[in-house]
Amino acid sequence: MCLLLSFYLQYISEFQCLDSDNSSGEYTDTNQRSSQMTLPNQHTSADVERGVQENGVKKHRTTLPAPMFPRNNFSIWSILKKCIGLELSKITMPIVFNEPLSFLQRITEFMEHTYMINKACTQTDPILRMQCVAAFAVSAVASQWERTGKPFNPLLGETFELVREDLGFQFISEQVSHHPPVSAFHAEGLNKDFVFHGSIYPKLKFWGKSVEAEPRGTITLELLKHKEAYTWTNPTCCVHNVIIGKLWIEQYGTVEIMNHSTGDKCVLNFKPCGLFGKELHRVEGYIQDKNKKKLCMIYGKWTECLWSVDPATYESFKKEKKGVENKKPKQNEEEIKSENDEADDMPEIQETVQVIPGSKLLWRITSRPTNSVQMYNFTHFAVSLNELDEDMKAILAPTDCRLRPDIRGMENGDMDLAGNEKERLEEKQRASRRERAKNSEEWQTRWFTQGNNPHTRTSDWIYTGGYFDRNFTDCPKIY
């Protein structure tokens, strides 16, 4: 997610009041300092500025300029307990809980496995195309695994563009609303073979120890050659231990991917971890035709891989496995109660996906950089998102995330600069909002307009086009 962990990390301010509109009474951390650690195999600044080429294709960086600032001495509760008696809306969390990416850049991580879309475009069988689309939808949430850093809240009018010739797409997103926060995005294949678009605005529920992010907004993928449109909504994400303890997430709920051209549907069940964690990260589902006949089964883990197999083989395997499990001794009530008392502790990871004979591999997660833990658990794709060379500076919109001084400061390990710039930008945004209210002016979006999704007829944000013409003369000055 899906990006539902990002939803929580971006919008948890509703419960812990991050990034408040109030500029007074903020809690600030006095121990913020610049990190002096170094990462191995770093690109030099000269390499970045040159935009290193390899075989005619731009070579993207493989590490960040500075490692992640350690959070060992920080906890959300350690901040909140010092503010007992204060108005919560006046508390701002230290920047140490962030990661050096904007939420708009986190959305772009949908595109990490674009090859699944490209593969779908080449398939002549609509069921094989649906399998590829299902694998793409599941792969889109894989980068969220163990990513517990909070992305920076996009400023109103902030944008992010990404052109990846090696992956075959160009992408543009814009923060179209601040209250409520809404992020709109649009991607298209460089070969004019697909369009991928949507808007993100989750609904949060606070359960004391955890925060549940229920998805809002439709995701649409159009395969232009086949004249097909697929739509779906991401699963629900639950973030555990938001007050004290180690953060961990699970994703659950039913995701329905509809092919509006053929009537085929893929139903994916993201399973909750359960009492003993046996279902943690598991995904099971099926593809059916318009007459509701099951054509194939899909199973795997969103953190690992996804497989497909024919329904008869799947059911036979399940019956055999259930018979074996029924012969195992069951736990008594005291054991169950004991484990239930520790329900918020992350369950031990169960065995890897057991592959059913005759299954076909649809997708497998890409390995992360060897130093990923030092880099906010970023994937290779995420590491490259905020890189900025001199050629980019000359063509980027002035509202692009890469130009944000607070994110750039954090990426470079200068936490003091990042914290100060973040506060300055948020106050500038508040001042602009007050000025518009004073003059009874409405905010005007630049690249998207509110309308209806042409396939679901539900409210959506539609790309108006023209961004890559690069006429940025009327862009707002938000930094």
pLDDT for res 89: 44
| 186 in a structural domain | yes
pLDDT in tens, 414-425: 999 999 999 999
| 280 in a structural domain | no
- Report residue 148's pLDDT band, with 50, 70 and 90 as the boundaries: confident
Question: Domain range for residue 168?
Answer: 4-250+369-469
| 275 in a structural domain | no
The more confident residue out of 204 and 269 is 269
Which range of 223-227, 365-369, 371-375 scores highest in mean pLDDT? It is: 223-227
Q: What is the mean pLDDT of the chain?
A: 82
Q: Name beta bridge partners: 452.
A: 459
- Report residue 241's pLDDT band, with 50, 70 and 90 as the boundaries: confident
Mean pLDDT confidence for 433-450 = 95
pLDDT for res 95: 83
pLDDT for res 165: 95
How many domains, the chain? 1
| 65 in a structural domain | yes
- Report residue 336's pLDDT band, with 50, 70 and 90 as the boundaries: very low
Q: For residues 194 and 136, give the distance between their C-alpha atoms in angstroms, rounded to a whole number.
A: 13
| 327 in a structural domain | no
| 296 in a structural domain | no
Sort 69 into a burial class: Cβ within 10 Å, 0-12 / 13-18 / 19+.
buried
Query: What secondary structure letter does DSSP report for 329?
Result: P
- Report residue 35's pLDDT band, with 50, 70 and 90 as the boundaries: very low
Lowest mean pLDDT across 47-61, 129-143, 232-246: 47-61
- Report residue 403's pLDDT band, with 50, 70 and 90 as the boundaries: very high
Q: What percent of the chain has pLDDT over 70?
A: 76
Q: For residues 162 and 168, give the distance between their C-alpha atoms in angstroms, rounded to a whole number.
A: 11
- Report residue 201's pLDDT band, with 50, 70 and 90 as the boundaries: confident
| 380 in a structural domain | yes
The more confident residue out of 155 and 39 is 155
| 74 in a structural domain | yes
- CA–CA distance from 281 to each of 250, 274, 365 (Å)? 7, 11, 13
pLDDT for res 344: 62
Question: Is the pLDDT at 14 greater than 80, yes or no?
Answer: no
Lowest mean pLDDT across 24-38, 238-252, 317-331: 24-38
Lowest mean pLDDT across 307-311, 339-343, 369-373: 339-343
pLDDT in tens, 150-190: 889 999 999 999 999 999 999 999 999 988 889 999 999 99
User: CB count, 10 Å around CB of 115?
Assistant: 14
Q: Per residue in 416-447, is it b (16+ CB within 10 Å) or e — as a string?
A: ebbbbbbbebbeebeebeeeeeeeeeeeebbb
